[in-house]
Amino acid sequence: MLRERQSTQRRKSVQRRKLSPSRAAFWGLFVSCVGVYSMSYSDVTAAETPEITKLELRNALAGWISTGIPLEVGDPFEVDARGMWDSEGLILAPRHVLWYRVSEDGTARNFPSDDLLAVSEASGELEIAIRPPSFYWFDKQGTFPPEILEAPEVAVSFNLEIRQSGALHSARQSEADKNLSQNFGRSEDRPPKHFKYLTILGESEVWSGRVVSNKYFVSANLKDDVGIIKMPANIELSGSMLFSFDWLYHSLPAVAPETSVVGHDYLSIALEFDNGQDLTWMWSKFLAKGTSFTCPLPWWSERETHYVLDSGSDGLGKWKSHSRNILDDYAEAVAGDPPKKIVGIWLIANNLFAKQDASASFRNITLMDEGEQVFSY
């Protein structure tokens, strides 16, 4: 059972300010755990009926919260999440930060949408957590460090309704069957074939793949979301290896130069290397062709470099082809010794900051070495 905690201590509310570049750099994708107080009087409250458990999450740093719902392997369940977190001007929906697991030893998984439909992979109690943006965990259980769990509360307002199958599940299934019937014959892969969402960020509904005119397209449709998909690779690099691809950008999401935190909304294609670095080629709305820069976001700044191939609005809506010498671009943009292997191919999409809708497609992704094709997608 959930216990309702109430505090009689008055807390100072956080005065909401507009998102300035300096404050965004601090808060943008990382929530500080020091010196922030809220007017929340509880971490979570719950009201139960035979079929529905209602949760109110009011503290973003509460860690894992037990729902009191026991599940067995194969049990379906649904979570409808509503509300928002105003993180100093960065507006976050439930799907941006909510995670779940079944039992303390279960695998932590994110909410790919605000309406979660899932099947339990383990036996145990369903737990829910808010993971602050740009805080990542690197074990499967989603372990929070003490500095987060012991920090002062950070105000959030998420309302959840959790159902174990039941009437709503049947209604949802009927609606899903209806949608399937309407879309019969339209084959779409989510995520695209051979790609998986990057584990540290979790899944989303951004990326899809489909065949059009006998060609396989990978597309991103950005609507206030983030998604990075990866295809594992193990390819020896050489000085002559070329990375080639076609891209079609319909629109660009940035509202400021992408070198800034507030402007770091973009879509791109990237290679991950055996030295822990990745190089991502992008179309910039504001930066000149040939510009390279390290990612302005915490954690990512140590491992990701951007390289601008197209710029501005000229050419949007048309396919463009690029072929890049990988190690030449790496030497120009990234400090340090060159990598020896490609270990992953990434596609990246983000518009969490300005929330401007954007979309792009990619096709004919290949690696060539001295005229020989060593990879094709």
User: Would residue 186 count as lying in a domain?
Assistant: no
User: Would residue 191 count as lying in a domain?
Assistant: no
Does one domain contain both 32 and 145?
Answer: yes
**Taking the model in full, what pTM does it have?**
0.82
We report the CATH number of the domain holding residue 104 as 2.60.120.430
Range of the domain at 251: 196-376
We report the CATH number of the domain holding residue 351 as 2.60.120
Tell me how many domains the chain contains. Answer: 2
Does one domain contain both 159 and 206?
Answer: no
Where residue 170 falls among pLDDT bands split at 50, 70, 90? very low
Where residue 51 falls among pLDDT bands split at 50, 70, 90? confident
Q: Name the domain boundary from 107, 135, 170.
A: 170
Does one domain contain both 145 and 206?
Answer: no
Does one domain contain both 161 and 217?
Answer: no
Q: Name the domain boundary from 120, 136, 170.
A: 170
User: Would residue 241 count as lying in a domain?
Assistant: yes
Where residue 319 falls among pLDDT bands split at 50, 70, 90? very high
Does one domain contain both 348 and 210?
Answer: yes
Q: What is the mean pLDDT of residues 121-126?
A: 96
69-115 pLDDT, tens digit each = 999 999 999 999 999 999 888 999 999 999 999 999 999 999 999 99
User: Would residue 11 count as lying in a domain?
Assistant: no
User: Would residue 110 count as lying in a domain?
Assistant: yes
Q: Name the domain boundary from 170, 187, 214.
A: 170
Q: What is the pLDDT of residue 186?
A: 52
137-162 pLDDT, tens digit each = 889 999 999 999 999 999 999 999 99
Does one domain contain both 214 and 157?
Answer: no
For the chain, the three-class secondary structure string (H helix, E strand, C coil) is CCCCCCCCCCCCCCCCCCCCHHHHHHHCCCCCCCCCCCCCCCCEEEEECCCEEEEEEEECCCCCEEEEEEECCCCEEEEEEEEEEEECCEEECHHHHEEEEECCCCCCEECCCCEEEEECCCCEEEEEEECCCCCCCCCCCCCCCHHHHCCCCCEEEEEEEEECCHHHHHHHHHHHHHHHHHCCCCCCECCCCCCEECCCCCCCCCEEEEEECCEEEEEEEECCCEEEEEEEEEEECCCCEEEEEEEEEEECCCCCCCCCCCCCCEEEEEEEECCCCEEEEEEECCCCCCCEEECCCCCHHHCEEEEEEEECCCCCCCEEEEEEEHHHHHHHHCCCCCCCEEEEEEEEEECCCCCCCEEEEEEEEEEEECCEEEEEC
Does one domain contain both 337 and 217?
Answer: yes
29-45 pLDDT, tens digit each = 433 333 332 323 245 54
